[in-house]
Amino acid sequence: MIIEPKAQHGLARHLIVRIRGEKEDITFETPNVVVYSGISNEGVPGDLFSFATSYKVHDKAPIMFPRADYIIYENKVIKRDNVGIILGQPKDYDNLKDLDIVFTIITRDVSISYRRTLATILRIRELMRDDAILYVSGHFKPESVPLLYYFGVDLVDDTFLINMPRGERIIQRLLKVSKIVRKLIDRRRLRDYLEIVARKSQYNASLLKIGEREHYKELERGYPVLSEEKTLMTVFEEAILRPDVRRFTERIEKYYKPPRTKRVLLLIPCSYKKPYSKSKTHRALKRVLFTVKNKYAVHEVIVTSPLGAVPRELEYVYPAQNYDVPVTGSWSEEEVKLILRLLRSIVKKGNYDAILAHVPEDYEFLSELGDVIFTAPPNRKITDDISLKLLANTLNETLESLEYVTREEYLKESAIGVLSYQFMDAYRNITFDSIRGRDLSNSRLFKGGFQVASFDPRRGYYSLSMHGAVMLARSKMFWVEIDDFVPKGSVFCAGIVDADERIREGDEVVVLHEGELRAVGIARLQGRILKEASRGLGIKVRHHV
Partner 1 sequence: MYELLKLLRDKAKESAKRHNPKRPVAYWREEDHLDGQIVRAFVGILRTRGCYWALTGGCTMCGYIKDAYMRDLDPSELRAQIKYLGEEYSGEPYVKIFTSGSFLDPKEIPCEMYEDVLSAFSDAKVISIESRPEFVKDETLKILSRLSDKFNIRIEISIGLESSNEQILRKLINKGFSIKDYVTAAKRVKKHGFLLKTYILLKPPFVSEFYALKTGINSALFALNFSDRVSVNPTVIQPYTIVEDLYRKGLYRPPWVFTLIVLLKRVKVERPEKVIVSYPMKKLKKEGLRGCDSCLKESISRIVEFSLTQRVEVLSLPRECPCYKLWLREVLISKRYPYLY
Is residue 36 a contact point for partner 1 (CB under 8 A)? yes
State the minimum distance, in angstroms, from the CB of residue 47 to partner 1.
Answer: 7
In this complex, which beta carbon is closest to partner 1, that of residue 47 or of residue 409? Answer: 47
Is residue 70 a contact point for partner 1 (CB under 8 A)? yes
In this complex, which beta carbon is closest to partner 1, that of residue 36 or of residue 236? Answer: 36
Residue 525 carries which DSSP code?
A: S
Taking CB under 8 A as the criterion, the residue among 23, 73, 400, 515 binding partner 1 is: 73
Q: What track of x and - describes contact with partner 1 for positions 130 through 169 (by CB under 8 A)?
A: -------xxx-----------------x-xx-xx------
Stretch in the footprint of partner 1 (CB under 8 A) among 63-71, 126-134, 308-316, 430-438: 63-71
Is residue 105 a contact point for partner 1 (CB under 8 A)? yes
State the minimum distance, in angstroms, from the CB of residue 71 to partner 1.
Answer: 6
Taking CB under 8 A as the criterion, the residue among 16, 37, 64, 94 binding partner 1 is: 37
Is residue 56 a contact point for partner 1 (CB under 8 A)? yes
In this complex, which beta carbon is closest to partner 1, that of residue 141 or of residue 513? Answer: 141
**Which positions ≥6 away from 327 have C-beta within 8 Å?**
270, 272
Rounded CA-CA distance 26/1 in Å is 10
Taking CB under 8 A as the criterion, the residue among 2, 21, 69, 483 binding partner 1 is: 69
Straight-line distance from the first to the last Cα atom of the chain, in angstroms, rounded to the nearest whole number: 35
Rounded CA-CA distance 488/518 in Å is 10
Taking CB under 8 A as the criterion, the residue among 19, 72, 373, 402 binding partner 1 is: 72
Is residue 49 a contact point for partner 1 (CB under 8 A)? yes
Is residue 52 a contact point for partner 1 (CB under 8 A)? yes
In this complex, which beta carbon is closest to partner 1, that of residue 140 or of residue 323? Answer: 140
In this complex, which beta carbon is closest to partner 1, that of residue 38 or of residue 377? Answer: 38
CA 95 to chain centroid: 27
In this complex, which beta carbon is closest to partner 1, that of residue 134 or of residue 264? Answer: 134
190-197 and 202-214 are packed helices; what angle lies between their axes, rounded to 10 degrees?
140
Taking CB under 8 A as the criterion, the residue among 17, 71, 252, 519 binding partner 1 is: 71
Rounded CA-CA distance 317/412 in Å is 17
Determine contact, residues 281/269, Cβ cutoff 8 Å.
Answer: yes
Stretch in the footprint of partner 1 (CB under 8 A) among 52-60, 231-239, 314-322, 441-449: 52-60
Q: What track of x and - describes contact with partner 1 for positions 355 through 384 (by CB under 8 A)?
A: ------------------------------
How many chain residues are in contact with partner 1, going by CB under 8 A?
Answer: 33
418-457 burial by CB neighbour count: b if 16+ within 10 A, else e?
A: bbbbbbbebbebbebeebeeeebeebbbbbeeebbbbbbe
Stretch in the footprint of partner 1 (CB under 8 A) among 106-114, 148-156, 299-307, 447-455: 106-114
**Which positions ≥6 away from 168 have C-beta within 8 Å?**
37, 39, 162
Q: Residue type for 93, please?
A: Y
Which pairs from 374-382 meet CB under 8 Å and 24+ separation? 382/269, 382/281, 382/358
Q: What are phi and psi of 97, to 5 degrees?
A: -70, -25
Question: Residue 411 belongs to what H/E stretch?
Answer: helix 407-423
C-alpha separations of 132 from 9, 152, 428 in Å: 15, 10, 37
Q: Residue type for 218, please?
A: E
State the minimum distance, in angstroms, from the CB of residue 108 to partner 1.
Answer: 3
Considering only residues 401 through 420, tell me which ones interact with partner 1, judged by CB under 8 A: none
Q: Residue type for 219, please?
A: L
Residues forming the site for partner 1 (CB under 8 A)? 36-38, 46-47, 49-56, 59, 69-74, 105, 107-109, 111, 137-139, 157, 159-160, 162-163
